[in-house]
């Protein structure tokens, strides 16, 4: 079960690292609203992936 928690943490850290890298080091100017929604949607996808791996690894 501890492996599931570590994998969920790794999924969220990697996904947030990609999001932060994209938001801060992007050469294209984006609005604050677009950045906010990009971050929210990215984290929702990461959360779904992290939670789904709990069910996937149980079988």
Predicted TM-score (pTM) above 0.75: no
Q: Is the pLDDT of residue 3 over 80?
A: no
Rounded to an integer, what is the distance from CA 55 to the centroid of its chain? 18
Q: How far apart are CA 44 and CA 48, in angstroms?
A: 6
Instruction: Render pLDDT for 9-49 as a digit per residue (tens, 0 to 9).
Output: 888 899 888 888 888 887 788 888 888 898 899 899 988 98
């Amino acid at each position: 079960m501890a492996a599931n928690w570590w994998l969920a943490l790794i999924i969220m850290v990697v996904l947030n690292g990609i999001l932060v890298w994209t938001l801060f080091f992007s050469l294209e100017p984006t609005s604050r609203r677009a950045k906010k929604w990009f971050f929210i949607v990215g984290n929702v996808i990461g959360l779904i992936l992290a939670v789904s791996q709990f069910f996937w690894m149980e079988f």
